[in-house]
Structure 1
Amino acid sequence: MADIGNVAAQSMSTWTDLSGFSALRHQAETDSNSALPAVAKQFESMFTEMLLKSMREANFGDPLFDSQATDQWQDMYDQQLSLNLSHGKGLGIADMLVRQLGGHNQAAQGADHKTGAVDPHTAGVTDNWRQRLFDLEDATRSTVRSAMKWVPQDAEAFVRELAPQASIVAKELGLSLRTVLAQAALETQWGKHMPTHSDGSSSFNLFGIKAGGSWDGERVNVPTVEYEGGIAVRKQAQFRSYKSAAASLADYADLIGKDPRYAAARGHGDDVMGYARALVEGGYATDPTYAGKVSAIANSSVMRQALDALKKTAGLPNL
């Protein structure tokens, strides 16, 4: 029987990497007893890392001071922390999985190997575990994809969840919070429709910013509508992809705040129409009715109700 150390000694980075399941699948084909504890421990590490990422994304902070280098170091730290938290007895998730997936039966089966006896109660456990390993892989991938989605329940949730970050960006650009939220609401239909990757994960692109030649981050290729000579034309286009809504807001602030084309858009305060018209004149959108659409959302009863609800819960008097 293979030593469990052969599985556990694999590169620890695979413990928080879905690709590590491939090696464990192969191990399960030849020795399910050693694969079960390893995959359970891997699942606990991945689950812990997802929890850490979710908690960090909920900490709004100041996205203007974030950087790609900071994000990379933070990801490395979270990965190492998740491994440390799941080391030894960990959080108990791995032990629970081992028990639920038949680990206690496999231990008994191992004892029977010493005498050559076959325990009828554990017969077929290996085949059953192999299928469960495959099921666990699919479930884990689904869990990771779900963690990478963000679809607000309604307009109030959209405003409530974005407001802490968007207010920082609005102040930096000399705009009202209502102005920033209205543009994001138009581009994403209140957060329900953002460009998504083939695996279903969100791009978190709140403002429909395309990925040009100068963009060195992740991209997503999706159908879109452009206006040529006032006529709507369907095309495929590449859009920027971000790790979170905060990263999208920070990039939006950089684009509007630093690009000379949008100098006239800055500092409009609560003049939503003036801001949106300046964006169109700078080439931000090809839709000739873009400014009117942003203004209509900003002045809609839906936006008014969402901001009123925010005032009551967050105590923000000036929106």
Structure 2
Amino acid sequence: MDAVKQSANYHDLASLDELRSAAQKDPNKALKQVASQFESLFMQMLMKQMRKSNELFESDTPLNNRHTQTYRDMHDNQMALELSSSGALGLADLIVAQLDPAAANVTPASVLRGGQNIDLQQRSLNASDTTGKNIAQSTSVTAVSSKTLEKDNASAAVSEKAEEAAAISRQSFASPGEFIQAILPVAKKLAADKGIEPMAIVAQAALESGWGKKVIANSDGSSSHNLFGIKADNRWQGDKAVVNTLEYRNGQANQERAAFRSYDSFEESVKDYLSFVEGPRYQQALANGMDAKQYAKELQAAGYATDPQYANKIGQILDGKHFAEFSQQAVEGE
């Protein structure tokens, strides 16, 4: 059992001793639980204010006395603990993301929780659509003739290109390795004459998009294919996706509403990114383009992102196990 755990009982003081001991041994490991405790305190303050708003109505009731108030406060404290442990408010996640740079490996730099419900909505739409498709297929089976063979031959001739296009166009990827395998060839092709290390491009895209799992979504639920968190300012004439985003102002994380560029494909996203960094603002980054980590540092210095740990997070991805595993697989495949 892990020594760092969230007690199910608010009045179990022994759990605080365990948490204090674990924090002394491994602060990073205990950070999540400390953040959850802080969130529960915040929830308690909210509930106290809610109770105060009803004090005027409770003044004349015989059930309102110091004994019932004591038990009610105990109940509220326990409820606050349960709500914080479920992560319903999301405050603990924000605290961890701000205090632990390693948390960025699983959290996109520009998106908070945009698109988390998209997969569920899409599955629901797909499920309802499947019923109609099955009925249509069952009625058309008898109409299949020699055209089936012709279609099979045509499909076989273009299957390789179709699979490649599907890998590039999908909104999310099953694993970081699949993300690298899909985006790296595009980065190599488009950055060949730009003087930028392709792995640096893929690592930055992985950070911004959460390995392709948190790509910003359009209002209709489709993918914006925006891999780099490039915002849609007044110079952008294309489609836009408006979502909640996490920005750092004076070292503090703040949730804001912002418009981002929307593309028809991931390849268009990479192409626009390369055009974007060719501007005068990022010339120092381009001068260090073949040094992936230094390139990331120069991007941050030029103000590409507001996150003070932006370059460090890209460096952690470059040194992480996913890039190492992909490189090892590439060597074994040669």
TM-score by length of 2: 0.49
Q: How many residues align?
A: 177
Q: Which moved more, 1:262-271 or 1:210-219?
A: 262-271
- Classify 1:99/1:158 alpha carbon distance in 2 versus 1 (closer, same or farther; 3 Å): closer
* Distance in 1 separating the partners of 2:254 and 2:193: 35
Match among 291, 295, 299 for residue 271 of structure 1: 291
- Classify 1:249/1:312 alpha carbon distance in 2 versus 1 (closer, same or farther; 3 Å): farther
- 1:249 Cα offset (Å): 0.6
Structure 2 letter corresponding to 1:238: A
TM alignment of 1:63-142, pairs within 5 A: 97=136, 100=139
Match among 176, 180, 183 for residue 155 of structure 1: 176
Identity of aligned residues (%): 36
* Distance in 1 separating the partners of 2:169 and 2:189: 24
Aligned CA RMSD, in angstroms, stands at: 2.6
Question: 1:207: which partner in 2?
Answer: 228
- Classify 1:267/1:172 alpha carbon distance in 2 versus 1 (closer, same or farther; 3 Å): farther
Contact 2:187 2:198 in 1 (8 A): yes
* Distance in 1 separating the partners of 2:330 and 2:261: 29
TM alignment of 1:22-33, pairs within 5 A: none
- Classify 1:98/1:247 alpha carbon distance in 2 versus 1 (closer, same or farther; 3 Å): same
* Distance in 1 separating the partners of 2:324 and 2:289: 17
Question: 1:28: which partner in 2?
Answer: none
Tell me if 1:179 matches 2:200.
Answer: yes
Question: 2:282: which partner in 1?
Answer: 262
- 1:306 Cα offset (Å): 1.9
Tell me if 1:304 matches 2:291.
Answer: no
User: Deviations for 1:245-292, whole angstroms, at most 9, x for unmatched residues?
Assistant: 1000100111112x1000011142442221112111222101111011
- Classify 1:216/1:155 alpha carbon distance in 2 versus 1 (closer, same or farther; 3 Å): same
Structure 2 letter corresponding to 1:285: A
Match among 233, 237, 257 for residue 216 of structure 1: 237
Contact 1:176 1:270 in 2 (8 A): yes
SS of the equivalent of 1:179 reads helix
SS of the equivalent of 2:191 reads helix
User: Deviations for 1:178-225, whole angstroms, at most 9, x for unmatched residues?
Assistant: 211110110011111010023221000011110000000010000001
Structure 2 letter corresponding to 1:100: T
Question: 1:244: which partner in 2?
Answer: 265
- Classify 1:168/1:97 alpha carbon distance in 2 versus 1 (closer, same or farther; 3 Å): same
TM alignment of 1:14-25, pairs within 5 A: none
* Distance in 2 separating the partners of 1:152 and 1:284: 25
Q: Which runs of no fewer than 5 residues in structure 2 stay unpaired?
A: 1-132, 144-167
SS of the equivalent of 2:324 reads helix
* Distance in 1 separating the partners of 2:220 and 2:231: 20
* Distance in 2 separating the partners of 1:310 and 1:245: 22
Tell me if 1:229 matches 2:268.
Answer: no
* Distance in 2 separating the partners of 1:295 and 1:201: 30
Structure 2 letter corresponding to 1:191: G
- Classify 1:196/1:293 alpha carbon distance in 2 versus 1 (closer, same or farther; 3 Å): same
Match among 302, 305, 310 for residue 290 of structure 1: 310
* Distance in 1 separating the partners of 2:195 and 2:327: 19
Match among 215, 223, 241 for residue 194 of structure 1: 215
* Distance in 2 separating the partners of 1:192 and 1:157: 11
- Classify 1:98/1:193 alpha carbon distance in 2 versus 1 (closer, same or farther; 3 Å): closer
